[in-house]
Each structure stands twice: as structure tokens, then as C-alpha cells.
Amino acid sequence: MRWLPFAILALGIMVLQTVIAPRIELYGARPDWLLALVVLAALYAEGFEVVFAAWVIGAVADLGTLDRPGLMSISYALAALLVHSGREFLFRYQALTQFAVVFVVTLAVQIGWAVYRRLMLPEAGWAGIGEVVGASLYTAAFAPLMGRGMLSMSRILGLPRRRYTYQGLV
């Protein structure tokens, strides 16, 4: 993975996350494009350097939240580690796989954040199940589009290309 183009991509998505995501919120759920970027990078990038990149993205995203520093960075790094460890068992270039993996990881992270906030801030109460599942579905809906964009920039980002073909089974 080439660091400079990936950093520029991450900064661009971070700006979109900050500016556009609050404006397209639906029923209290907003997409987490940074987490989708982390999951997709973990699906495609070679080596465990993607875990460090996920931690850095989370650390920068921590600066924009009111939670304790480290919550997002640890969550993103653990998500990247989990996805990178199990990616060899997936058809990672399929849109349905991208959707499913981003949905499951986002759901796990959202539940983890809800439990953390409930334990640390008891007066805040539980996050609604609709908000947690809605945010996960909303994030996962953008995953195939983001995945296709990342794969189209694979040469610039230094991501490996597909090693298998469909053999006309499409």
C-alpha cells in the first residue's frame, strides 16, 4: 500500500464524513465512511500495515468526538485486524461480500460503542436498536461503491489486483 495516496484518500473521506454525513442522517443513523474505508482497506491491502493505518485514522477521528481519546482508534484497529485475518476465506471482490463484511463489522463496532457509552455514561441510556442497525445498514450501503472506487484506484493506492477471473460464470 502506498501511504501518501492512501492518506489523501483517508483525508478526503474524513472531510466528507465531517461535512456531508450529518446532513444525510436518517432517523438518527448516519453512515461511518471512515469505518467502511478501514474495512475495505483491510480486505484489499497486503500486510498488517493496514492495522496501523486504521489506528491512525481512528486516532484522527477521535479528535472530532466527545468520547475519551482512543475509543475509535482501538475500534478501527481491532476491526481492521479482524477483517484482515479472515479475508482469505472471502470472495473479497464481490459487492455482496463487501456489503456483508462492512455491515457485520459496523454492527459489532456500533454495539461496542453503545455498551461503552452505557457503562461510562449511565445517564445517557442505551442507544436505540434502530439507530445501531440503521447506521450499520447505511454504512454498508455505501460499501460496494467505495470498494469499486478503491479497486479502480488500485494502481495508485498500491493495492493488489484480482488473481482470479469469473470464467464466464457471471
pLDDT (tens digit, 9 = 90+) per residue, 6-65?
A: 999 999 999 999 999 889 888 878 899 999 999 999 998 888 899 999 999 999 998 888
Domain segments of the chain as ranges:
3-157
Class assignment of domain 3-157? mainly alpha
Q: List pLDDT tens digits, range 54-111.
A: 999 999 998 888 778 888 999 999 999 999 998 888 888 888 999 999 999 999 999 9
pTM given for the model: 0.87
26 is written with which cell numbers? Answer: 436518517
Q: List pLDDT tens digits, range 144-165.
A: 999 999 988 988 888 887 666 5
Task: Answer yes or no: is pLDDT of 167 > 70.
Answer: no
Q: Rounded CA gap, 4 and 105, in Å?
A: 26
